[in-house]
Amino acid sequence: MPLGAATRRGGRTGPSRRLYAGAMSPAPQPPPSAESRPRRLPAVDALRALALLGILAVNIWFFADPVRLVGGEPTTAAPTVADQLVALVVTVVFEAKSYVLFSFLFGLSFVHQQAAAWRAGTSESGRTLRRMLVLAVLGVLHGILLFAGDILLAYAILGVLLLALRGLRTRTALVLAVVVAAGFSLVILGIGALAALLSGTPGFAEALPETPDAAAAVAAYTGPLPEYLAFQLARWAALAPSILFGQGIMAFAAFLVGLAAARAQVLERILDRSAARPIPTGLLVAILLPSLLVGLALSTTAAVLRHGLPGAPTTPQPAESLLASGLSLVAGPIQATGATILVLMVLRSRPGARLTAALAPAGRMTLTNYLGQSLVLALLFSGLGLGLAGEVSGVVVGSLIVLIVGRPAAGLGAVDAQLPHRPAGDPAACDHLCRSPDRRAVRRGNVSSSGMSLGVRGDVEAEEKITPRGEAGHLRAVIAWVSRSHGKGDP
């Protein structure tokens, strides 16, 4: 019997058949009772927290050196070997990988949210569109007020596109994801390679855009509120389209992979070796090793092009920077695949249980932490607060990454409390969200919940409440201590 013909609770039929195409059951059963609802997977929350950590590690540099927001390179080359090593590590480990993982989890969550809507007998399209609208509004406010490099608006727009394509078969979604990611990566890499080849020809330098005025960017970003808001609005308006049609293309490919993984219950089959169809460890290792080796080789090459060899810091030429971006873009999904498998294998082990327990709370409130981090960083570096942009070294920025990750409750906990439904699903906030990705498993009630979200309700946040300005003051003290120990004086 086709799934589309099966009667949903409340007598509704139809749309979910498109979402779960390729995972249809000939023997539908009643929806699971409250007692049979599947358990959630803390390891998935931990994975989501790690993705957020990587995003922070990349985004913080745009706050600390706002010339990056106007398309320029850092104001100066890394002043010490330690500063350079911090930048190299961030490029090799996090750049172009963390947002790919985050986007994969968004796509996986999409399937669980659709399943939740079907079980509740509500419109899948209506619920998703409402969530995307809330996410878009938050994205616009976040982009203008806090961080011009906001990704939430792009997620909202691409989430609507994913909704329109939810009827794709699993294999078709995977093929489309590979074509989109590979095609876009090769285009950017080709442009970078062509620029490198032409860099020495007459007229090439004159054809490049003018170098942004770093001093003017820092002055506007750290200036009075009107100047700060004018800078933010101009940069957000300029960056939003490029993020949507640049980073967003790779994110959408990851959405599609997440959708396919949710239907096939890939994360459950990796984490639970007692599952009905666990993925063999040998197969995981066979995917993990080449993915990490190839990804690390490409990322390391990009890092050296951008930052120079250890001990010989450099400021790249525009052609080198573009080529490095292309290499990072190609490396991103490859390295993220291997890293994700490795992390899941660690988290499913007995020693990994402690790491899971430490990371999972941050992963249960991702939207809160994403926005909260931006608020804290804006208070530290912009004219909204201490105005430290352009004054801190790479070592200090690296120390801040570690410190802020250790305080995930900072920021906007009340934001999520206002959202009755998360933009990308959440296994912790509501019992009815993020069940199995296909009707067959939903009806049997035998699948572990692994839905992702961009955040959860405020009532599950850590008991310790930290005000953003109080946290900023604490971070300033740490900056002073690290700077003194690093021989740079108090910024």
pLDDT digits (tens, 9 = 90+) for 337-386: 999 999 999 999 888 888 888 888 888 888 888 999 899 999 999 999 99
pLDDT tier, 479 (very low <50, low <70, confident <90, very high otherwise): low
Q: How many other C-beta atoms lie within 10 A of the C-beta of residue 212?
A: 17
Q: How far is CA 215 from the centre of its chain?
A: 30
Looking at residue 350, its pLDDT comes to 86
Based on the number of CB atoms within 10 Å of its own CB, is 401 exposed (0-12), middle (13-18) or buried (19 or more)?
A: buried
- AA letter at 171: R
> Which of 385, 377, 372 shows the shortest CA–CA distance to 416?
372
- The model's pTM: 0.76
pLDDT mean over 41-57:
88
What is the C-alpha separation between 357 and 53, in angstroms, rounded? 16
Looking at residue 78, its pLDDT comes to 53
For the cut 70, the answer to whether the pLDDT of residue 229 exceeds it is yes
For the cut 50, the answer to whether the pLDDT of residue 318 exceeds it is yes
What is the C-alpha separation between 447 and 38, in angstroms, rounded? 6
Looking at residue 220, its pLDDT comes to 92
Q: Which pair of tokens denotes residue 131?
A: 């969530």
- From 17-21, 49-53, 438-442, the region with the lowest mean pLDDT: 438-442
> Which of 108, 115, 116 shows the shortest CA–CA distance to 45?
108
Looking at residue 346, its pLDDT comes to 93
Higher model confidence: residue 468 or residue 205?
205
Q: What average pLDDT is seen over the chain?
A: 76
Looking at residue 447, its pLDDT comes to 36
Q: How many other C-beta atoms lie within 10 A of the C-beta of residue 382?
A: 24
For the cut 80, the answer to whether the pLDDT of residue 247 exceeds it is yes
Looking at residue 206, its pLDDT comes to 67
Looking at residue 436, its pLDDT comes to 34
